[in-house]
Structure 1
Amino acid sequence: MQPLDTSRTAGVTPTPRRRAVLAGGLGALAALGPLAAGCAAPSASASGRTRLRYWHLFGGGDGLTMQSLLRKFSKAHPEIDVEAATLQWGAPYYTKLGMAGAGGRAPELAVLHLARLAGFGPGRLLDPFDLDLLAELGVRQRDFPENIWRRGQAHGRQFAVPLDTHPTVLYYQTEVCEKAGLLAGGKLRPIRGAEEFADALRAAKKVTGRPGLVTETLGVDCIIPWRLFATFYSQTGAKVLSADGRRLALDDAKALKVLEYMASLVEEGLWLRRADYTASIGLFNEGRTAFHLNGEWEIPSFRPTGLKFSMTRVPPLFGRPTAQADCHSFVLPHQADRGGEPNRAAHTLVAWLLKHSVDWAEGGHVPAYAPVLKDPAYLKLEPQSEYRDVIDDVALDEPAWFTGSASRMWIELGAVFSGVLTGSRTPRGALAEAKQRLRALLDTPNPLAGAAS
């Protein structure tokens, strides 16, 4: 969300500061001082309404959509005074949120990437949701995919309620693919297997004279190579870490197969070797290539240009139809005196945003609240509804403090696998380095653990 995703910020290359703050650990945390901890706040505003402080990291198109939703909420709930704060995406956001929770003087509500929950001190930095209160407001566990809902749990309690999932998807140029004979009824023909995907790229290249696929392959905090590896590797059924996130579980043979395949597409000239994030968006937007692999949040980047494109799920190249993803979720940062009307207001906003997430879905994210997936208004969204069933096949990182969006694993392994695509590393060498970095991360204590104790 450089990108519009709040998973990177659309079309903008992330800055080095993301890595610097992330690596800063407790030093960076402490440097935020009282600002991060927040300040004591009364439960009611001067107008007598219940005060609800809400922190999020949504910028770009996501941010505009969230602002619009909050305006609508305020009209529907004039008794609640929402004070929304948009903080810097990535490591700075999480450092500040962690410090606020550690001080017990945090906002009433915040957004957290679901895959980061394990490292965020549920029960210490975060408070659990009141499921009876959510049920009273019309939101129940059965309204969510089981695997996503379950990832929000810790110690038998619910610490995160998912808003959406933002998976890796396949964008395609409809005119190019039509000329290449890859469409049927205006939609991309099903692609089954790695060789069929390579054939599709070859057919597209014959039409354009250029590589059939463009993605981010290099740049500061380059993470798309990791997300693509994670997508293809998940399709083999293998895991990077053990289920509890404490041990390395990488399957060398399957990982090497994926990396060698990725390298082979580049070497054959089917995948553009060198492009940073912004360039990859620009090249696809100019119609210079047939396919683009990325998160689904770039719809707002392509729509205004009149580009004739559509989207679909990432084809099952290695067996299973899974795709790497994370989820935006709501959390309750720890407050020493959580309860009363401010806590009820937080639950009320969560329930309202879930029920009105058709608007949120316009930017590309797949709503996690199942009733919305059946809403006629959502089903009319094109191409968003084309990949909605991926909600049942998302592959989140295993739970560890260093996984999830904007995490050290994404940044470090993104840099390693970038070399496979640019040619600076062999697949076998990249695999060895990735395992070395993962072992180092596993041996490193959670920087937030001290703040949470």
Structure 2
Amino acid sequence: MRKQETTGSRSAPVLGRRAFLAAGMAAAGTALAGCGPADTVLSGKQRLRQWNLFTGGDGARMVEMHEAYRKQHPGIDFQPSTFQWGNPYYTKFAMGAAGGRAFDIATLHVSRIRGLGAGTLLSPVPTDLLAQHGITRDTITPNIWDKCTIDGELFAIPLDTHLMVNYFNRPVCEEAGVLDSDGNLVAVSDEDEFFEVCAAVKEVTGQYGVVTDTTHAWRPFWSLYRQLGGELTLEGELGIDDDKALRALDFLRRLSQDGLAPKSSDGAATPANFQNGIAGLMLSGNWELPTLKDAGMDFGMRPFPGIYGEELGQGDSHCFVLPVRREPDEDAVAAAVEYAAWMLKNSVTWAGGGHVPAYTPVTEGREYADLQPQANYRHAAENVQFDPSAWFSGSAAQLQADAGAIFTGVHTGAVTPQAALNRFKRAAQNLIDTTSPV
């Protein structure tokens, strides 16, 4: 920090009480920001500042893992901080990373790496150091590792995969006759088969066959669009296959307009509707698993249904990233990488929340195989469908928000699939034409 320069023999001003308190508070804030004496010097321990966006069930598991980490690392002054999920976190992350001193390691969604400044705000991961802890491409789900690699450099250490799956109420589906000999929901291979299953389940519930979050319709849309082989180019002139997009949107329309699914069901109502027996099936993210388990519900899970071929589901991955530093700090980087490796190796605890660990020795181990129903959809993570690449795309990004606001009208009947597609194309092109803030 620069000291205030003095000129000639001018004496220092006398601080009043308020000015003195303000100066003290400013000094305290500066120390917290990293301009004061390093905590490492004061405590004799290596400081490790970690930022994350995990609350609820995920937050509880993260705390559990952090407590275990602390016990095994008495020489680390571990300082985790949890912030509000979504845009608030990513705004704070970008500001903190730009400052260069806010954290030593942080959690991101893999889909946001490019948009948040790989090489500008994010530093490449030292793969040689990571390999010393037993983490290499050979020990990570290959498609996830590749997604974390940009121009030949690894910019993130993947922790998990989370994706759209198909939940089923076991007693309801058994009565409906849609379980196989192993007690799992039957697989489907086209639209008609899926609608037939939904209709059979609806006969039992008396209300609906399936429920999905209509306010976040991007996730099922992207799952269906990718099953059809659809591509989306978000650079220059928008590139989209209209026919495939319309087919995916018409599927969502039929689901609600035929009375097989509610026309309106937001993020909180969707698992509640499934839990209360309003519908016997649910298309949602695997992160709803803890809520249903805590409720004592008898349910199963399988990959997102293969309506148009493969059982491909939209999803993302949580990962650990390192900031670009103003000044090199090899000790802090070493501690951060070791922390990430420890979290990966102990991620069977994390799997309790429904996420599929990226570290394959965990997913291939006996302890994970005994996790039910998690083990029934783990193979779906090998081909998770990430959002298209752009600074405005990915988890909690503007493309998802715009698509959700537009596509929800397809469920309610407020707009036709064609009108929704036209609006989405205009919104996407506006984002393409907007300069990235990073």
Name the TM-score, length of structure 2 as normaliser: 0.90
1:114 aligns with 2:110: yes
Sequence identity (%): 41
The equivalent of 2:23 in structure 1 is none
Q: Is the 8 A contact 1:56 1:85 kept in 2?
A: yes
The equivalent of 2:239 in structure 1 is 249
The equivalent of 2:225 in structure 1 is 233
The equivalent of 2:269 in structure 1 is 279
In structure 2, the CA distance between the partners of 1:325 and 1:45, relative to structure 1 (3 Å rule), is farther
In the TM superposition, what whole-angstrom CA distance separates every residue of 1:287-338 from its partner, at most 9, and x where no partner exists? Answer: 2211111110111111122211111101110123211001101100222123
Choose from 167, 172, 188 the match for 1:171. Answer: 167
1:375 aligns with 2:365: yes
In the TM superposition, what whole-angstrom CA distance separates every residue of 1:135-176 from its partner, at most 9, and x where no partner exists? Answer: 011111111222211111223211111100110011110011
Q: CA deviation at 1:246?
A: 5.1
Q: Equivalences for 1:65-104 in 2 at 5 Å?
A: 65-104=61-100
More moved, 328-337 vs 151-160: 151-160
In the TM superposition, what whole-angstrom CA distance separates every residue of 1:118-141 from its partner, at most 9, and x where no partner exists? Answer: 111111101111101000111111
Amino acid at match of 1:319: G
Q: CA deviation at 1:47?
A: 2.5
Choose from 165, 170, 187 the match for 1:190. Answer: 187
Q: CA deviation at 1:207?
A: 1.2
Larger Cα Rg: Structure 1 or Structure 2? 2
CA distance in 1, matches of 2:101, 2:43: 22
Q: Is the 8 A contact 1:38 1:107 kept in 2?
A: no
Q: Which secondary structure state, in structure 2, belongs to the residue aligned with residue 169 of structure 1?
A: strand
1:199 aligns with 2:191: no
1:44 aligns with 2:36: no
Q: Which secondary structure state, in structure 1, belongs to the residue aligned with residue 314 of structure 2?
A: strand
In structure 2, the CA distance between the partners of 1:183 and 1:76, relative to structure 1 (3 Å rule), is same
Q: Is the 8 A contact 2:205 2:277 kept in 1?
A: no
Runs of 4+ in structure 1 deviating by more than 4 angstroms, as ranges, are none
Q: CA deviation at 1:443?
A: 0.3
CA distance in 2, matches of 1:118, 1:246: 17
Q: Equivalences for 1:123-138 in 2 at 5 Å?
A: 123-138=119-134
Choose from 392, 402, 409 the match for 2:399. Answer: 409
CA distance in 2, matches of 1:47, 1:93: 29
Choose from 242, 257, 263 the match for 2:253. Answer: 263
The total of aligned residue pairs comes to 407
Q: Which secondary structure state, in structure 2, belongs to the residue aligned with residue 399 of structure 1?
A: coil
1:446 aligns with 2:436: yes
In structure 2, the CA distance between the partners of 1:144 and 1:393, relative to structure 1 (3 Å rule), is same
The equivalent of 1:426 in structure 2 is 416
Q: CA deviation at 1:257?
A: 0.8
Structure 1's unaligned 5+ residue stretches are: 1-33
Q: Is the 8 A contact 1:214 1:289 kept in 2?
A: yes
The equivalent of 1:291 in structure 2 is 281
The equivalent of 1:148 in structure 2 is 144
CA distance in 1, matches of 2:41, 2:147: 35
Name the TM-score, length of structure 1 as normaliser: 0.87
The equivalent of 1:216 in structure 2 is 213
Q: CA deviation at 1:56?
A: 0.2
Q: Equivalences for 1:293-308 in 2 at 5 Å?
A: 293-308=283-298
In the TM superposition, what whole-angstrom CA distance separates every residue of 1:72-115 from its partner, at most 9, and x where no partner exists? Answer: 11111111111000011111111111111112223100001000
1:162 aligns with 2:147: no
Q: Is the 8 A contact 1:125 1:333 kept in 2?
A: yes
Q: Which secondary structure state, in structure 2, belongs to the residue aligned with residue 397 of structure 1?
A: coil
Q: Is the 8 A contact 1:152 1:159 kept in 2?
A: yes
More moved, 103-112 vs 360-369: 103-112
